[in-house]
Structure 1
Amino acid sequence: MADIALDLTPDAQAAIADALNQAVAETAVTTMMAQNFHWNVESNTFGPLHALFQTIYEDHFAGQDDLAERIKMLDMHAEGTLAGMIARSKVEELEGHYTDVEMIGHLQKAQMTLSKTMSGAAAVAEQNGDLLTQDLLISRGMVHDKFAWMLRAHTKGRG
């Protein structure tokens, strides 16, 4: 078990950094999705959704920074281009206009994808003896599970 990031083998650092870069990419794409929806939501649920979407993108912006900084602690390269993140992400960049219900659905799906990505990356960190990265990823996964639940709650009782 490594005590700090630089105690890991180069192969372990590379594997963990790759998993973290996946997490950063998907978080970045979802950040922009939430901000886009924050700007463009229109309905009788404008107020609560406008606020929730802002809470999500602000959280995700800080979260992607924490993930990228962990990559740097591993002495690896953090992907920093939008094109690279979009190409890598399992969360798709969206174009066009969406209803409030469609926005909720897209963002909920993105949160579930992020939760799975964080869980998978945490497993990579655990397999390579990096409990600190594992803890970070588990914490981020819990955030995405919570946002998925909050979004799902907005559609309960709708026909």
Structure 2
Amino acid sequence: MPKTKADKLQATRNDLGANVREASVGVLNATLADAMDLTNGVRMAHWTVRGPHFAALHALFETFYDQLGEATDDLAERVVQLGGAPDGTTQRIGEKSRLAPYPAGLRDGMEHVKALADRYAALAATVRAGIGSTDEAGDADTADLLTGLSRTLDKALWMLEAHLG
């Protein structure tokens, strides 16, 4: 696929080589799409959850999308720091997300928990792969950023799984 103007790295004084920055921008933009897709799924759960655990889940889901909002901001800003352009439009997220589509008709709290647990686990796995890729490429800072995200995802997954027994 030919490179577009948006795909080219911008000049920066960052001392990482262009190949390293290009590799990291690719990992970061893929992770950004997945994290934004997960954020939207969590928001759907927050807005539509019903059932005996409504209050606790409604509040938990709000905490989760706040965490994801901070994480997506960090991912996008790291892309820019490396001379890239964040690929976070709604249209691109729909095209690029590697997560399974969030079921639109869910209402039951535990069904939301199961759906979110699956997606948190999937994102955690790709984030861990991204840690390895960016570390191997020579970008310890991006690997560190992804490591922090991995910890956040694992903690949320643990909380979701605790609701499932």
Same fold (TM over 0.5): yes
Unaligned runs of 5+ in 1: none
Say whether residues 1:10 and 2:24 are aligned partners.
Answer: no
Relative to structure 1, the CA distance from residue 44 to residue 36 in structure 2 (aligned partners, 3 Å threshold; closer, same or farther) is same
Matches within 5 A, 1:1-159: 6-98=14-106, 99-156=108-165
Task: Measure how far apart 1:94 and its partner are.
Answer: 2.2
Letter in 2 for 1:127: E
- So what's the TM-score if we normalise by structure 2? 0.88
SS in 1 for 2:105: coil
CA distance in 2 between partners of 1:124 and 1:71 (Å): 15
1:97 Cα deviation (Å)?
1.7
Deviation at 1:143, TM superposition (A): 0.6
Query: TM-score, normalising length from structure 1?
Result: 0.91
Counterparts of 2:103 and 2:112, CA distance in 1? 11
CA distance in 2: counterparts of 1:96 and 1:126, whole angstroms:
37
The sequence identity of aligned pairs, in percent, is: 29
Indicate conservation of the 8 Å contact 2:32/2:75, yes or no. yes
Confirm or deny: 8 A CA contact 2:32 2:88 kept in the other structure. Answer: no
Please tell me the root mean square deviation across aligned C-alpha atoms, in Å. 1.4
Aligned-partner residue type, residue 52 of structure 1: L
Q: After the TM superposition, list the runs of 4 or more consecutive aligned residues in structure 1 that deviate by more than 2 angstroms.
A: 92-96
Aligned counterparts of 1:130 and 1:11: Cα–Cα separation in 2? 10
Deviation at 1:96, TM superposition (A): 2.5
Cα offset, 1:85, TM superposition: 1.2
CA distance in 1, matches of 2:20, 2:127: 17
Provide the C-alpha distance between the structure 2 equivalents of 1:142 and 1:89, rounded to a whole number of angstroms.
Answer: 21
